[in-house]
Amino acid sequence: MQTQKKYVNKIQKKFFYGWLIVLISALTAFFSAPGQTYFISGFIEFYIEAFDLTRTTISQYYSLATLTAGLMLPFVGRFIDNHGERRLTLVIGTLLSLVCIFTGLMFSPFLLIISFFLLRLLGQGSMTLLSNVVVPKWFYEKRGFALSLITVGSVVGSIFIPPLNTFINLKFGWRMSWYIWSVLLAFIFIPTVYFFLINKPEDVGLLIDNEGVDNQKKKKVVHAFRYQWSLSEALKTKNFWLMAIASSIPALVNTGLFFHLYSIIELKGMEITIAALILSLYGGLSFAFSLISGYVVDRVNPRYLIFGSFIYQIFNILLLNYMTTPMMAIVFGINMGIIAGIQGVSFRTIWPNYFGKENLASISSFRMTMMVIASSISPLLIGVLYDRFKGYTEALMLMAVISAVAGLFAIVAKKPKAPETT
């Protein structure tokens, strides 16, 4: 800690150390890549060939691993709150590096299942959770904007990592890719966390938002966080469940629509390249509107932004159902990116605003588990409805109705009153 204080003092003379915490959180989001679908999907064809598996079988392995890993996240969240973000980031980063080596060495379908589970738990689950729970402890007034900057890590990863992995896979073999990412985690990510990540500003004599002790704004911040909710207390409130359900709906709707997007586009009589274009528009615009929304959410109640985004989502689903031209499909993709940017930052901001920052990992991990369950349901649900009605109209109407319910839940879920203490 003394070494860290020296770094802090030098950096603090130039700018608020909290912005470096934002950068490290973005780096954490970037290095969650080995557990993300955009990363793992580039290895599926190699796994099918190496282990003589069918596409259906490997999809079942992946879905089962994702769901099981999601159910473990509340335990991860509790560990983070009890032992601190820095310590858990070092442990999880180290374990993820070792799992990358394990994945490069695996030689059977059984080991593939274990690899999927560990990658999803440590990468997609734990690293993503860690990237979102440190920043709220450093920022209050600019919390939304600070959280929006974390998406830079995810976006850069999703754009540049797939082609990089493809090059390595084709040139040196798929196992080499996993070894390289193990080295990158061990020699770039872990040392950065060790030397620079600090759990909260009070640990090094600083205050949230870099305020002075006597500053009136600081007094307002202290008052706002006078009560810190535990997970068990939050679970007893109606508004936690309303907002948690609402926050799960984007995962349900987006996962289902993206999973069946190529099929929907083909049924509309369009080239499947349109589907690829939609996904590209989604990624770029979701990042851009995350930054814009981060600025807005610091000035407007995020509950209103969430409600508006669900109304927007309803009309966009209707557009998808009735679209007849590639231009309408492009507009749909643009709308999806805008909606995702608004919802992502608004939901990440509302949890510390409602329940404080001390037990944020436990509360956020519970919400993430609900999102994982929702995202695992929708592809199957939409597929069943498609088989039953021989089309996607009924499924899309259901997604629109679910979005309407989510919007209603969000707008009525006001900040809960803190329990009375004796």
CATH number at 390 reads 1.20.1250.20
Same-domain check for residues 176 and 59: yes
Mean pLDDT confidence for 213-242: 73
Specify the pTM.
0.82
Residues with Cβ within 8 Å of 31's Cβ and at least 6 positions away in sequence, in order, are 93, 96, 127, 153, 184, 185, 189
Structural domain includes residue 70: yes
Distance CA 269, CA 264 (A): 9
From residue 177, how far is each of 65, 165, 286, 334 by CA, in Å?
21, 6, 28, 33
Higher pLDDT, 405 or 125: 405
Distance CA 178, CA 421 (A): 51
pLDDT band at 220 (very low <50, low <70, confident <90, very high): low
pLDDT tens, 328-340?
999 999 999 999 9
Same-domain check for residues 237 and 134: no
Structural domain includes residue 10: no
Number of structural domains the chain divides into? 2
Instruction: Return the closest-CA partner of residue 118 out of 24, 175, 239, 35.
Output: 35
Instruction: Return the closest-CA partner of residue 26 out of 154, 126, 211, 200.
Output: 154
**Chosen domain end from 185, 218, 251:** 218
Same-domain check for residues 169 and 247: no
**Chosen domain end from 163, 188, 218:** 218
Structural domain includes residue 94: yes
Mean pLDDT confidence for 114-134: 94
Same-domain check for residues 250 and 346: yes
Same-domain check for residues 242 and 368: yes
Structural domain includes residue 226: no
The pLDDT of residue 410 is 96
Instruction: Return the closest-CA partner of residue 132 out of 148, 119, 156, 155.
Output: 148
The pLDDT of residue 87 is 96
Mean pLDDT confidence for 288-294: 91
Runs of H (alpha helix) within 212-272: 216-224, 231-235, 238-259, 261-267
Same-domain check for residues 145 and 83: yes
Same-domain check for residues 59 and 155: yes
**Range in 6-10, 188-192, 337-341 with the lowest mean pLDDT:** 6-10
Same-domain check for residues 186 and 261: no
Same-domain check for residues 189 and 64: yes
Write phi, then psi, for 353 (nearest 5 degrees): -65, -35
Same-domain check for residues 67 and 178: yes
Structural domain containing residue 401: 231-412
The pLDDT of residue 175 is 97
Same-domain check for residues 238 and 178: no
Same-domain check for residues 192 and 254: no
Mean pLDDT confidence for 301-329: 96
**Chosen domain end from 218, 246, 278:** 218
Structural domain includes residue 120: yes
Structural domain includes residue 224: no
Structural domain includes residue 3: no
pLDDT band at 12 (very low <50, low <70, confident <90, very high): confident
Structural domain includes residue 386: yes
